[in-house]
Amino acid sequence: MTAPLTALSKVKPNDPCWCGSGLKFKRCHKPTTDRVGAGTLTPRRPVPDSIASPPWAATGQGSNRGESDVKSADVIDRMRRTGRLAGDVLAQVGAAVAPGVTTDELDALCHQITLDAGAYPSPLNYNGYKKSLCTSVNEVICHGIPDSRALRDGDIVNLDVTCFREGVNGDTNATFFVGSVDPESQRLVRVTRECLELAIAQVRPGQPINVIGRAIQDHAEGSGLGVVRSFIGHGIGETFHTDLAIPHYFDPRAVKKLVPGMVFTIEPMITVGDWRHRLWDDDWTASTVDNKRTAQFEHTLLVTDGGCDILTLRADGHWSGDGAPIPG
Ligand code: MF3
Ligand code: CO
Ligand code: CO
């Protein structure tokens, strides 16, 4: 039986259900939307003067200094170290994911681990962003701001970590299960992770950028899932986001060829339903328009002569997050 649309909006939780069951609406056909709501923020976490901070720590402006797509050997060396650090920070924060833990507690952990490693948490004050980590729960696509909301059994949460050390950034994220997660969400997370794996397998010199999006879109849509268009992968280095654009869908115009020394992220956001987003009032948090779930994985990649290196692998050579057996 389908609810008449006009009726749904008028029925109150304690009214008899429209279906005639005699039950209260809230006990019968009331959709369990249970959307992620905004909580409260803690004050800005301090960074000691001993940490070498990027320009935006002071200015709040995300800079793009026209950085080259192709990096020098020296920048690459530093990016390998900072990338590995980001992979390790993500693993450590991910290990703390559990029912009852607030996203702010995860931010505090990310902040402290990053500082202890002599690095600056790149998100902090980047274009005015208030925290050191992005925590995107359930229908939140990306840029969720850590707050007082406690994770619940059955949630999925993406943790997006970016570290700045030795003058360069490493950017990586993964989606984690909170307790036991429903089968549809498990499949979403697994397919999203596979999308990133398939995209990485396409990265080698001579390939046009759009092979990346094609691999992702084919796998996602072939699995009945959607691909977010509004947020894309990006060049990265001394700047957090350069203007090198990496769409996660097939864009016929993205014909620039990959060359050795290029460094960029691939970070597909895949949806169970509609791929379009809406922005929360905080001007950061992007959620799906239909409030259905979405997942994401991200790595920072270096194009090599024969393919690519994943710069944001953990020191043990693996990657974090749920949804598939650990590769390798
Ligand atoms: N880490 C995100 C990305 O993958 C960017 C976060 S911007 C922030 O590009 F300001 F929210 F941190
Ligand atoms: Co990124
Ligand atoms: Co990121």
Q: What is the CATH number of the domain that holds 188?
A: 3.90.230.10
The pLDDT score that the predictor gives to residue 328 is 44
Q: Establish if 4 belongs to a structural domain.
A: no
The pLDDT score that the predictor gives to residue 155 is 96
Q: Establish if 135 belongs to a structural domain.
A: yes
CB of 137 within 8 A of CB of 144?
yes
* Gap from CA of 198 to ligand 2 centroid (Å): 18
Which ligand 1 atom sits closest to the C-alpha of 127?
Answer: 10
Q: Which ligand approaches the C-alpha of residue 300 most closely?
A: 2
User: What is the per-residue pLDDT across 295-307, written as a single tens digit (0 to 9) for each?
Assistant: 999 999 999 999 9
Q: Establish if 321 belongs to a structural domain.
A: no
Q: Establish if 45 belongs to a structural domain.
A: no
> Total domain count for the chain?
1
Smallest CA-to-CA distance from 55 within 64, 67, 46, 63 is with 63
Q: Give the pTM.
A: 0.91
Question: Does residue 325 register a pLDDT over 90?
Answer: no
Q: Establish if 237 belongs to a structural domain.
A: yes
User: What is the per-residue pLDDT across 177-234, written as a single tens digit (0 to 9) for each?
Assistant: 999 999 999 999 999 999 999 999 999 999 999 999 999 999 999 999 999 999 999 9
Q: Establish if 1 belongs to a structural domain.
A: no
Which ligand 1 atom sits closest to the C-alpha of 265?
Answer: 4
User: What is the per-residue pLDDT across 16-73, written as a single tens digit (0 to 9) for each?
Assistant: 877 788 888 677 655 555 899 999 999 999 999 999 999 999 999 987 778 999 999 9
Instruction: Give the list of residues 6+ apart from residue 192 with CB closer than 8 angstroms, or none.
Output: 175, 220, 225, 268, 269, 270, 295, 296, 297, 323
Instruction: Compute CA 223 distance to the chain's CA centroid, rounded to the nearest angstrom.
Output: 20
| Host domain of residue 298 | 67-310
Kind of pairing between the strands at 308-310 and 168-177? unpaired
Q: Establish if 39 belongs to a structural domain.
A: no
* Gap from CA of 172 to ligand 3 centroid (Å): 5
Q: Establish if 260 belongs to a structural domain.
A: yes
CB of 147 within 8 A of CB of 105?
no
Q: Please provide the average confidence, as pLDDT, over all residues in the chain.
A: 93
